[in-house]
Chains A and B, each alone.
Chain A
Amino acid sequence: MRPQSYSIKSLSIRKFLYILPFMIMLGVFAYYPLYGWVYAFFDYMPPIPLSESPFVGLKWFHSLVENQVKIDQLLKVIQNTFGMSGLSLLFSWLPMIFAIFLTEIKAVRFRKFIQTVTTLPNFISWVLVYSLAFSMFSSEGIVNGMLKQLGLADSPILFLQSSDHVWLTMWMWTTWKALGWSAILYIAAIMGIDDSLYEAAHVDGATRMQVIRHVVLPSMLPTYFVLLMLQIASFLNNGLEQYFVFQNAFNKDHIQVLDLYVYNLAMGGGSYSVSVAISMLKSLISVVLLFSVNGLSKLLRGESIV
């Protein structure tokens, strides 16, 4: 009979050994890409392998701001990133309002129907959203067909090629896709409100708006706060897919966010090293943002988010 402590220790190690293969996979696919950052310090020109590329130190980081043209280019991209992220941040309360008024609907089947239907767009890919957009709004699409049929437009309206209001239309597509789904968390929060709060409000003769203002809204603020903080933390990460599929020669100046710019630089222009340099700065700033909002949350609520 082996000593008890020994067998416990070996069981504990054995359990770890079971998950080790998975941890190695995670290491390869989530951590090893960080090694890709070294490309930012070399003059990497495929097909010449990295090992034969000259080391250039911080050259690419300097090159980002070396002349006015590049500065303007980068500023434009940053402007787009801030514009679109800012717009979502500005309307970040929309899912909360959506949830409040959805739960005000008394006809249960109607409410369920609305909820099911409005969460559907969340589950289709951006390519499909673009495809729907194209089918509806392209020059030979359904909407232009209807407009022509009704005699409202002589020539097709070029909704998708327009360079006007790109930030706004992108925000509208995001909202169309995500609003119903984002509301679910708030609906859960509303369902969790103690009934006695409603009773008390009712006894006090509160009107509907007063109940919303003094009972419902305060109980959702913690959820709102956490989601807002996470949204701030990912301020620079607009994602690639949406902007990639919607980009074209006409709207490019207004649609290029950092993620798309990085992609276009590398895969379109072959400037891998510069692209990695920007990627790297972006990731580092994002981590700083995440720690900041986490600290802010600890300070204000005594709870960390992450």
Chain B
Amino acid sequence: MSDSAAELIPHEPERQADRKVKYQAGAADKFITVLIYILFSLFAFVCVYPFYSIIINTISANDISARGEVVFYPKHIQFQNYVDVFKIPGLGTAALVSLGRTVIGTALTVGASAFLGFMFSQEDMWGRKFWYRFTVITMFFNAGIIPWYLTMRSLHLTNNFLAYILPTVVAPFFIILVKTFVESTPKELQQAASIDGAGIMTIFFRVMLPICKPILATVAIFAAVDQWNSFQDTLLLVTDSKLYSLQFILYNYINQASSLSTMVNLQNAGSTAMTSLATKQTTTSIRMTVTIIVVAPILLIYPIFQRFFVKGIMIGAVKG
């Protein structure tokens, strides 16, 4: 797979040197190399195959898919599932709710993290240390979900779109990321601006925000994924179906679909729209199609922004 002389050392410059040294790789060493490749390939397969297999099953003819014949490539390609699935009542609304909370929530979280990260780097701020601790310590304890639910309810944040947004605005981990980044930039930038007569807000908007773009991109990606994936807040705080998020609809649908099929078999009464949907589609095909719709945004942005994720966790680790 690769030349055995280079196996010993993982760093590029030494690999060059190694080739000349003619490192003697034993049989055991080669065996390990092969084993590593096999094990990682297997694990990678296990990570990707579920996504792939569901995608090819949703675009294959449903009867062939139901017989388990779609394994490596789609058969009798059709996209009707994706058209039909939007006939399920509530899916469109849920998509809007998820999109809305992701866009608005991310914007506010990024803005607040940028501002607070910057402000916490201001050494002359009154009580800076205390307030920074006050913020960071919330990462390590919480009252528990039920006390949280009870207090949210007393604040009238049940069945309220704001419940998706407000609790996430001040996010300690993101604030740490920004603060670490701001502190790594030269102090002279802020000093120069300040001598030129710029106030603290001008320095933030005109000087720091443009410099912080890379770290804010990282924060935005993290925050958006968190918002999109959020499920627990809907579960606890929302009973109004107009405010259901896609994740919640998906969860409901996984559980309903099975009862739906038995229900359809037992009684012919009930909503005609749902019955015709269930007969035209199998419960499995609907379930898989909704899954792909919910996961699609992640699958699409992930390869593009992967380096931002990695950067984020590495900066976070320094201070974590």
Q: Which of A's residues lie within 8 Å of B, judged by CB?
A: 8, 11-16, 18-19, 22-23, 25-26, 28-37, 39, 101-107, 110, 113-114, 116-121, 123-128, 130-132, 134-136, 138, 140-142, 144-149, 176, 179-181, 184-185, 188, 190, 195, 198-199, 202, 206-209, 211, 223, 226, 233, 240-241, 244-245, 259, 262-263, 266-267, 272, 275-276, 279-280, 282-283, 286-287, 290, 306
Interface residues of B in 234-269 (CB under 8 A from A): 235-236, 247-248, 250-251, 254, 258
From residue A226, how far is it (CB to closest CB) to chain B in Å? 8
Find chain A residues with CB under 8 A from B151 CB: 32-33, 35-36
Query: Which of these, B67, B146, B155, contacts A145 with CB under 8 Å?
Result: B67
Whether the Cβ atoms of A282 and B144 lie closer than 8 Å is yes
Whether the Cβ atoms of B291 and A132 lie closer than 8 Å is yes
In the docked arrangement, what's the CA distance between A209 and B33, Å? Answer: 11
Whether the Cβ atoms of A123 and B302 lie closer than 8 Å is yes
Whether the Cβ atoms of B146 and A287 lie closer than 8 Å is no
B131 at the interface (CB under 8 A from A): yes
In the docked arrangement, what's the CA distance between A142 and B116, Å? Answer: 48
Whether the Cβ atoms of B170 and A26 lie closer than 8 Å is yes
From residue A216, how far is it (CB to closest CB) to chain B in Å? 9
In the docked arrangement, what's the CA distance between A55 and B54, Å? Answer: 54
In the docked arrangement, what's the CA distance between A306 and B176, Å? Answer: 13
B13 at the interface (CB under 8 A from A): yes
Grouping DSSP codes into helix (H, G, I), strand (E, B) and loop, the A interface class, with mixed when no group exceeds half, is helix
Whether the Cβ atoms of A125 and B1 lie closer than 8 Å is no
From residue A76, how far is it (CB to closest CB) to chain B in Å? 20
Nearest 7 CB-CB pairs, A to B? A145-B68, A36-B147, A279-B144, A125-B229, A33-B143, A30-B138, A16-B126
**A-contact 0/1 string along B143-183, CB 8 Å cutoff:** 11111111110010000000000110110000000000000
Find chain B residues with CB under 8 A from A126 CB: 231
Known: A195-B13, A207-B26. A25 touches B169 (CB 8 A): yes
In the docked arrangement, what's the CA distance between A184 and B14, Å? Answer: 23
In the docked arrangement, what's the CA distance between A169 and B88, Å? Answer: 32
Whether the Cβ atoms of B169 and A22 lie closer than 8 Å is yes
From residue A19, how far is it (CB to closest CB) to chain B in Å? 5
Find chain A residues with CB under 8 A from B169 CB: 22, 25
In the docked arrangement, what's the CA distance between A208 and B146, Å? Answer: 52
Most-contacted residue by chain A among B51, B147, B258 (CB, 10 A): B147
B283 at the interface (CB under 8 A from A): yes
Find chain B residues with CB under 8 A from A118 CB: 40, 43-44, 47
Query: Which of these, A18, A19, A223, A283, contacts B143 with CB under 8 Å?
Result: A283
B48 at the interface (CB under 8 A from A): yes
Instruction: List 16 contacting pairs A-B, 8 Å CB cutoff, sorted by A.
Output: A13-B126, A39-B146, A118-B40, A126-B231, A127-B294, A128-B291, A140-B283, A149-B69, A176-B46, A180-B47, A199-B14, A202-B8, A207-B8, A244-B235, A279-B145, A287-B141
In the docked arrangement, what's the CA distance between A107 and B34, Å? Answer: 13
Whether the Cβ atoms of A123 and B144 lie closer than 8 Å is no
Find chain A residues with CB under 8 A from B295 CB: 124, 128
In the docked arrangement, what's the CA distance between A198 and B2, Å? Answer: 20
B112 at the interface (CB under 8 A from A): yes
Known: A29-B167, A233-B140, A306-B140. A279 touches B147 (CB 8 A): yes
